[in-house]
Structure 1
Amino acid sequence: MTSNDNLMRSNNVLEKEAVKIELDLNEYDKGVMSDFQKEFIIEELNELPPLEDGQVSINGIYTFDMEDKIEVSVYIRNGSSKQINFHKVPLLIVNNNGDIIARQTVDMKEFGILKPFCARPYKVYFDKINMLVDVISSDDWKIQFGKAVSTVNTVKVQFEGFPGEVHQELEGTFTKFLNKLPLIKAGDVNIEVFKTLRCLDNSISIVFLIRNGCDTIVKLETLPIIIKDEDGEIVASGVFDIENVNVNPHKAKIYDFTITQEYIVKKDADINNCKVYFRT
């Protein structure tokens, strides 16, 4: 086994107590990986260099030539007390002299959330066009994060319930919508529009999703809404009083809201082509 390690911080971990790292598989691997495979991975993790509290590392295990690209098997280890995930991550492969032999910016959104003090196997891919050598020597390489890399502390929220029978019947549809959204940053509150439609009385109905990434309950008393058409012209706007809008920590809720005619300034706008903004 080849083990190559890069830490986001350069402190000497041998001088401080190393953190204990546990295996954290994604949902797919949990379902298909045998106990033998899991035990093998744990053994590999135990052989990696120690990790200090607060560090996040990437460790290369092997490379595989796939004709047009190079597959690199790695372990991502989270030695911090917060869960993390990644977006676009600049990665480098260097030789033992520190010379760069490949570089690639990898979209790692699918990696998902990595729990505190946990590790996960993963595969990244380097396009051959980004290789500076023809062949990577099996004993003369390591993978490391680029200088611009940053982790994101995010929260995966879940629905805490659905108000009314109509919403309950659409639970599957709402859940699919929620799961397709990017993870919300810890401490943020986010509103996403599920649907807008024109009612028979020409009012506008908005079905929206509130996600609470905070550790406390979020309560909303007023909500600024602007609707604009394709040309950026205002269709409707106002700051509206709302009642009983509260979302528990790390949860999501669906709400309905109706904008009545007196707030609509462009009554002939095609609402299907409009955008909704929750701001003044």
Structure 2
Amino acid sequence: MNLFSFFKNATKTGTDTAVSSTELLDGTNEESQDKNEVVTELSIASDWKVSKEQEYVLKFLSNDLPPLKADQLSLSGIQIDVDKGKGDWNVQAFFRSSLDRPIKLGKAELMLLDATNDVVGSQEFDLSELGTLPPFSNRPWVFKFKKENLKSTEVPTDQWSLAFNVQSLVPHSLDLDPAWEEALPKDQKLSLKELVKNLPALKPREVNITGFQSKFTEEGNLAISVFIRNGHTKQIQLEKLPLEVLDAKGEQVVKGSFKLDNLMIKANTSKPWTFIFPREMLTNETPDLSRWTARVPQ
């Protein structure tokens, strides 16, 4: 996609959203106490080739953007063009920074909102493609929302906005149920956090089950502990969970279903949970559990 086949019209139909940099960036300083407004300037990457005519349009749009507060990141919607062949929406916007230092972001989910702030589309983008944004600047970009990530076929024509889903930038973390939080000693909590940290990254909106401990009780029941992993940027609730356990040979050990009473898994977290299968449900009472897998049955 040629970025500068867009931004040919100086009319702005979108609005602006802004968040504090402390909400998006891990390890940043505390929010600035500077209440002065910051005017951002147009930033064109050194390797971009822009015609004089288009540079004029970009400068006109840039100069018309409202000031930001200090230490904010903002998305300013310009226009939306529809790819009539594919049904994708090309959302033209400025990515803006009022930070006093250069900034480069990674992957983040962006939400496209209509005039009533209803979400009409959401998609993950690699913001590193924009390059490093200088201090107090704004950079034009086209965010292509694919048809399958859109909830509407009607393109917003006015007062729409593009916003960061802040939760998508929060590192994946351990979500302990209050009962586990109270019962587990500090060293076990740290061990669980380390386990979660070293698990493979989830795909956007992926939910999976990852086992980490299994043992037989004195009664011969099989207890397995798993992480229920939520790759969504919203919390999910589980009412029931069907599970089967496979041993090192890939053979089924047990299969059953558990009622969870709306167990909540917070956005972008992994929650540990223990499931106990009664002895009489086992199809193999002496399985090889040197390696094992817990999964939702196909």
Q: TM-score, normalised by structure 1?
A: 0.49
